[in-house]
Structure 1
Amino acid sequence: MFHVSTVQQFDLEKTTHLIKHAEYLRTAKRADILHRLSGSLVATLFYEPSTRTRLSFEAAVYRLGGQVISAENARENSSSKKGESLADVFRIVGAYVDAIVIRHHSAEELEEAIAYAPVPVVNAGAGSGEHPTQALLDVYTIWREIGRLENLSVAVLGDLKYGRTVHSLLRMLAMMPNISLKLYYPQSLSLPPDIAAEMERAGVRVEQAESVEQALCGADVVYQTRIQAERFESVDEACAASDYAIQAKHLSILPNHARILHPLPRVGEIDPAIDPDARAAYFRQAENGLYLRMALIDQLLKGELS
């Protein structure tokens, strides 16, 4: 059984193949692809709030001719409220559908339970662990916007400790040739040691920036993130998010070819005045998620991922 649980299941070749398939589905006539998942049923189980991830996955299935059954706010509105284990949820729901897309509050519980699923499971975000499909759509966006996935200087700002999108993206960038990182973050929200060690082993050049200006200078890609206040373990981790925000005044520092990405939602990390600038790619990034997830679900249900 092939489950999509971590970006470490993908390498540059598989990622490039997925990107090309996303481009095909993006440009194909709807009538030509509507049959691809005909007869398939996918369950979306979301134990944490979601807009882009849940709706893009569900839209992806429908656009390929499949059907969806959904449990939103499943932490409160399912048998999990009664104490049912996630392993049992997978056993039961897996008897009804062909695949499960899940967002869960515990990366550890998801990792343990996934082995009990009789159908493929896609990790749509797990606690402060990983968000593999976000990383896939992020590199898809970089490829479309910059034109390459190598020789990149990437600035990453915000919450590196709890930001699962950052964890997955950095692991994926570590597979690309000649990547350098500039990180700017609240001191209490630094990169987890295991991921920092992975960057070192992969030969990724990592520099700690001292300001937004220093982080943005010379960057090809800027990856801004939301401070994950809901995951703070203590008041000591609280910080002034405004210190890590990108303001309109910073655009003069950013190269013309650079692109600003954000997994969204934003809550003050990017000044809306930046939105009209061609370098602001975050809304295009969100749209790219539909096509990347179409490609992923299509290949997953056809047994083409391994």
Structure 2
Amino acid sequence: MISFKQRDIISILHFNKEEILYILDVTKRMEQTDYSQILKGKVLSVLFFEPSTRTRLSFEAAMKRLGGMVIGFAESGATSIAKGESFSDSLKTIEGYCDVVVLRHYLEGAAQLAADIVNVPVINAGDGSNQHPTQTFLDLYTILKTKGILEGLKIGFLGDLKYGRTVHSLAYALAYFGAEMYFISPPNLRMPNDCMEELKKRRVTCHEAESLQGIGKQLDVIYCTRIQEERFADPIEFEKVRGIYRLSKPMIEGLGVKDDLKIMHPLPRVDEMDESLDGTNYAVYFDQVRNGVPVRKAILAAVLGATE
């Protein structure tokens, strides 16, 4: 029997295919059935050291819709950390107030460090440019709902693949489902070597390119990401790639893409995706956002033992 009770959600690499499918199945149940009281009396602590709209609010909405309560902060400057309190002491304090922690942090490895410090489940809501596992679950759920399958798809990842933690996590997960992957980026924003090595070990067929030309018509899904200015140490390097890709309806149709192509984006978007796509059948990124609530309901319920 699969159990997520008291389990940390740190990296998608910690889960096998059956466990991933289990969360997707629980998510489907969350959409079909009223579970509004299953986490009554439970408290979620959301600790966000980096800006967030969708992840933080969808976790809060998910917890409240399951009958639970939410505490935490979206700006660490308003906490005792601003007075010099250590990360460890803050977590040990907060642990006494809650049943589960959702953490977003600008440093890679922060979520694992937090999990090592506290005895309640820790859910990684993004640690630097490393991973974002709950986004991966909602991305997979979106693909499953819009394409009807997960197995054997051709997926194109476009944009900032070096710093794009959502790309890293999703690529690892799709490896379980026999995906063929196309990584389209400028040379200085390619997928990290360690990611490519991991995919190679999993025998994933991977292609790298700098343009969608000649590739777009083969794809079942395009996963677009923004160029993340905040991750660049050198502003000059960012300016070199600003606006390098811009998806639009005419551009996509000019590639001769499949009629059932789906375009995804973890959002926020800046200038890489034109609003002309919003009303097309290709665009599923706002559905993707909405899927965040049932997916995070499933994850919260699972780690708190309410799905057993």
Q: Does the CA contact (< 8 Å) of 1:45 and 1:70 recur in 2? A: yes
Q: CA deviation at 1:263?
A: 0.2
SS in 1 for 2:244: helix
Q: CA deviation at 1:95?
A: 0.7
| CA–CA separation in structure 1 for the residues paired with 2:156 and 2:242 | 17
Partner of 2:201: 201
| CA–CA separation in structure 2 for the residues paired with 1:37 and 1:233 | 42
> Does residue 264 in structure 1 map to residue 267 in structure 2?
yes
Partner of 1:129: 130
Q: Does the CA contact (< 8 Å) of 2:111 and 2:123 recur in 1? A: no
> Does residue 170 in structure 1 map to residue 204 in structure 2?
no
TM-score (norm 1): 0.94
| CA–CA separation in structure 2 for the residues paired with 1:219 and 1:70 | 41
TM-score (norm 2): 0.93
SS in 1 for 2:157: strand
Q: CA deviation at 1:51?
A: 0.5
Q: Does the CA contact (< 8 Å) of 1:134 and 1:165 recur in 2? A: yes
SS in 1 for 2:149: coil
* AA matched with 1:40: K
SS in 1 for 2:120: coil
The partner residue of 1:53 within 37, 41, 55 is 55
Residues 39-188 of structure 1: pairs in structure 2 closer than 5 A: 39-74=41-76, 76-176=77-177, 178-188=178-188
| CA–CA separation in structure 2 for the residues paired with 1:109 and 1:101 | 12
Q: Does the CA contact (< 8 Å) of 1:156 and 1:184 recur in 2? A: yes
Q: Does the CA contact (< 8 Å) of 1:91 and 1:118 recur in 2? A: no
Q: CA deviation at 1:112?
A: 2.4
Q: Does the CA contact (< 8 Å) of 2:107 and 2:128 recur in 1? A: yes
What runs of 5+ residues in structure 2 fail to find an aligned partner? 1-5
SS in 2 for 1:227: coil
* AA matched with 1:50: S
Q: CA deviation at 1:12?
A: 1.6
Q: Does the CA contact (< 8 Å) of 1:184 and 1:244 recur in 2? A: no
Q: Does the CA contact (< 8 Å) of 2:266 and 2:289 recur in 1? A: yes
121 and 303 in structure 1: CA distance in 2 versus 1, 3 angstrom threshold: farther
| CA–CA separation in structure 2 for the residues paired with 1:110 and 1:299 | 18
Q: Does the CA contact (< 8 Å) of 2:227 and 2:241 recur in 1? A: no
| CA–CA separation in structure 2 for the residues paired with 1:210 and 1:44 | 38
Partner of 1:274: 277
18 and 49 in structure 1: CA distance in 2 versus 1, 3 angstrom threshold: same
Q: Does the CA contact (< 8 Å) of 1:223 and 1:261 recur in 2? A: yes
- Note the alpha carbon deviations across 1:265-304, whole angstroms, 9 max, x for none: 0001111001001110000000001110000001111176
> Does residue 15 in structure 1 map to residue 31 in structure 2?
no
Q: Percent identity?
A: 38
